[in-house]
Amino acid sequence: MESAAKSEQADPDEERLREYRVSLEAIEARKKAVADLAKQIDPGKKTNGKQSLRIALARLRENPLDAPSLDAILRCAPREAKDDHFTKIQLAQLYGRFGESFSAEIQQALRSQAEAYAKYMGGGTENHIGMKRVAAMVFGEAYPEMKTAYGISGSDLAREAIAWMSRYGHAVFASSMAEYLSTIYLGSHSEIWLTAKEHAGTDAARLMSRAMLDWIWSDLAVNAHLGQVLPPLPRDKTMITNGPQMSYPNTHIQWLSWLYWGDERSRPGVEPLPPYLSAFKPGMDVDDVFKGFALGLQTAVVPAVSQEVPNEIIRNIGAKRVALPYRLRQSRVNNAVIVEASQNDLEHLPLRDKEYRYSLRSVYVAREYGLGAGYFKEDLDAENRMHLMWNGIVYKSQDALNRIHANHPYWYTAVEQQDAGDRLGLDNWLGKSPFEQCMHWDNALLFLYDIPETDPYVGDANDAKTGKWTPERTEKCLRAACVYVPRSIDEKQETPWGWLLRENDVYIAIRPFGAERTEWRQCATAVQAGYESLTIHGSLMGLAIEVGDKDEYGSMEAFAAKAAQAKLDISKLASAREASYLSSRGTAMRLQFVPGGGYPRAWVNGAPLDFDNWPVCESPYVSSRDGVLDVNDGRKGFSIDWSGDFPQYEYYDIVNGNREVAVREWLDNGLLKTERTE
């Protein structure tokens, strides 16, 4: 089923801007801006190195004798606590970069902590495991003769960590990461693999680290657009702690994206930092910055001081120096798949049931907008549902806020608001409710809600499982759904069928159906500043949403006329929880709500969406199947085959639609081999 949208005509001026944004000159300017700011921050006096050691990295690069940074290393090195993996990976990064210049006292402190630490081969979330293993490799190679807490030598510990790299990378290339585009934790994964790539002592570890970075970067690039990263996104806790993604870097993942291909504000000689950084003053304590107004900046420091950058092919995809529009489908695993690949003889890791298609993604990228939504396995009490940003529309705008999403408020509705004095209620805008389902195809979204009066799952919360992120839900369900819209949007019109929105040359039609009433509400919480919600009240109801632009429709009036002609059939809504929608492009969408919080039933032009065979990754520019990642920008490309123990690379040119291999790279008896073709 091909997209009905026509291919765009490239704007030469815009193309020159995109070419600049991916240039090494522009990347270096953005990296320098981050590093220069970081080196002015005080690392503080805490024993937790999660934040202070990132600052030490930037300061020591400027002055290898910086006393506050060296003191921070000595103070943080012995730390053992629940979150000590963050300290360990930063210590490994610092040792790899500056270890030869460290004093005997610091060397001894680093060796002592490496000998004493008994969690290197332990479990946790995906990023926790990665931090521990890569730190084990770095310190095991640094002190090969040391006796570790496992009773083995440092060199044996390093070998265990490198063996994990092989198993883990193989699993990722076969089926994906679990924390694939987390707005917070993708930044942590970037730090992990940059540390491994730059400071590994073997060709095997360096090649595997490079392949993991290429997987992470290409996944980010194909999903990045207009300053944001398109949903669905797991573990998006910044939505309830710090605010949403914006048109400029706000979250961790946006900072990483900005470093490598900029945003819509980037111009030659002008790489503006986000406006909120005007609050920064030299000498501020690290917690005041990284736990305050610049939360997302923290994981930008390591990539800013690193020499590594994505290759030009990936950067071109990230900046959208490719033909648009395109369609993207991806499936993503649960953490149990990652834990199984991380099992070892030194520590037994508890296993859960593996799900290889735990989350399914569907994304559409046009030049002026992008949208995405997901399909999810039933899991009614997991952080990846509580903190899932599961759908959204991003549009081109000069405003700070440029994303719209729909949500049934569910997971945190009973939480007491600190800034409003009552329960969160309808202002709980994050998480995937079991009472909402959606289908997506190209420029259209179709939602169904089947909201009971009383929550049948309200007693299922498990404190031990969710830790500090324990859901607090009201026993009585909120029988309403909200479409969260920036108040800054240029135009908002009520129509006989719903609402028409416009931002510049992007148009959005929102058509509620089955609702008892609709109203616009001002959002009340601090993290929702600048948003209002179109709230639809009812129990069995839905939404049809379409997006278009001037290039396709010519004008807002023409788009509105097309939207008015779109056909909605809800004759089976009450009897079968089913709705059908014939979009303005003539796409027939049919959605049936399936109780239980899992996959719905969905059809496009009469053909069922086959969720059980959803691809690991399928798009014109990034694809992954059978352990082989393929990435191209329409001119050049590369593939990584990790179907065996180690990755193998091929770089190719695209000539008259055919691929001509230029370079091959592989391991031979542990050594990197390169072959260049004529």
What confidence tens digit (pLDDT) does each residue in 586-614 have? Answer: 999 999 999 987 999 999 999 999 999 99
Helix 49-62 vs helix 67-76: angle between axes, to the nearest 10 degrees? 150
In terms of DSSP H, where are the helices of 267-319? Answer: 286-288, 301-305, 312-318
**What distance in Å separates the CA atoms of residue 260 and residue 346, rounded to the nearest whole number?**
38
Sequence-separated (6 or more) residues with CB below 8 Å from residue 561? none
Reading across the β-sheet that carries 506-513, which strands appear in turn?
436-441, 444-450, 540-549, 506-513, 498-503, 491-495
CA angle 648, 651, 654 (to 5 degrees): 140
State the average pLDDT for the chain. 95
Q: How confident is the model at residue 462 (pLDDT cuts 50, 70, 90)?
A: very low
Average pLDDT value for residue range 63-90:
97
Which range among 92-101, 123-132, 336-345, 455-464 shows the weakest confidence by mean pLDDT? 455-464
Mean pLDDT along residues 373-390: 86
Task: Tell me the fold of 12-318.
Answer: Glycosyltransferase (1.50.10)
Does residue 112 carry a pLDDT above 60? yes
* CA–CA gap between residue 93 and residue 134 (Å, rounded): 10
Helix (H) or strand (E) holding 361, with range, is strand 359-365
The three-class DSSP label of residue 145 is coil
- DSSP code for 598: S
What span, in angstroms and rounded, lies between the C-alpha atoms of 480 and 538?
A: 6
Of 139-143, 404-408, 431-435, 462-466, minimum mean pLDDT range = 462-466
pLDDT above 90: percentage of residues in the chain? 90
Give the Å distances, CA to CA, from 446 to 378, 549, 583.
20, 19, 10
The confidence band for 384, taking pLDDT boundaries of 50, 70 and 90, is confident
Q: Which helix (H) or strand (E) holds 260?
A: helix 252-261
pLDDT score, position 418: 56
Percentage with pLDDT > 70 across the chain? 95
Q: How many Å apart are CA 605 and CA 6, to the nearest integer?
A: 19
In a 3-state reduction of DSSP, which class is residue 364? strand
Q: Does residue 464 have a pLDDT over 60?
A: no
Tokens of 541: 């109801």
**Per-residue pLDDT, 379:** 80
Q: Is the Cβ–Cβ distance between 188 and 240 less than 8 Å?
A: no
- Tell me the β-bridge partners of 391: 373
If we measure between CA atoms, which residue out of 188, 184, 162 comes closest to residue 88?
188
Q: Which residue pairs, CB below 8 angstroms and at least 24 apart, start in 668-673?
A: 670/202, 670/203, 670/204, 671/203, 672/203, 672/206, 672/207
pLDDT at 273 over 70: yes
Residue 641 phi, psi (nearest 5)? -100, 105
Query: What φ, ψ does residue 27 adopt, rounded to 5°?
Result: -60, -45
pLDDT tens per residue, range 184-201:
999 999 999 999 999 999
Nearest-5° Cα angle at 339, 335 to 344:
175
| DSSP track, 23-54 | SHHHHHHHHHHHHHHHTTSB--S-S-HHHHHH
DSSP class per residue in 403-469: EEEEE---TTTTPBPTTTSSB-GGG---S--TTEEEEEETTEEEEEEE--SB-TTGGG--HHHHTT-
**In this model, does residue 3 exceed pLDDT 60?**
no
pLDDT at 281 over 90: yes
Model pLDDT for residues 210-232, shown as the tens digit of each residue: 999 999 999 999 999 999 999 99
Interval 135-153 mean pLDDT: 98
Residue pair 513/542 in contact (Cβ under 8 Å)? The answer is: yes
Q: Are 164 and 209 in contact (CB under 8 A)?
A: no
Beta pairing class for 588-592 and 601-604: antiparallel
The answer to whether the CB of 101 falls within 8 A of the CB of 147 is: no
Residue 288 pLDDT more than 60? yes
Q: Which of the four pLDDT bands, split at 50, 70 and 90, describes residue 473?
A: confident
Pairing outcome for strands 517-522 and 506-513: unpaired
Peptide bond between residue 43 and the one before it cis (omega within 30 degrees of 0): no
Written as one letter, the residue type at 34 is: V
Per-residue pLDDT at 419: 52
Residue 37 has pLDDT above 70, yes or no: yes
The average pLDDT across 110-130 equals 97
21 pLDDT band, cuts 50/70/90, is very high
Per the model's pLDDT, the better-predicted residue between 330 and 422 turns out to be 330
Question: Residues 411-459: pLDDT tens digits?
Answer: 999 887 655 456 788 999 999 999 999 999 999 999 999 999 999 987 6
Contact 27, 309 (CB under 8 A): yes
Q: Among candidates 362, 353, 312, 303, which has minimal Cα distance to 609?
A: 362
Q: What is the mean pLDDT of residues 492-515?
A: 98
CA-to-CA separations, 246 to 228, 257, 296, 449, in angstroms, rounded: 7, 13, 12, 28
Q: What is the pLDDT of residue 467?
A: 53
Rounded mean pLDDT, 157-184: 98
Report the pLDDT averaged over residues 524-539.
Answer: 96
Check: CB of residue 164 under 8 Å from CB of residue 344.
yes
CA distance linking residue 410 with residue 435, whole number of Å: 9
Nearest of 190, 64, 88 to residue 140 by alpha carbon: 88
Confidence of residue 366 (pLDDT cuts 50, 70, 90): very high
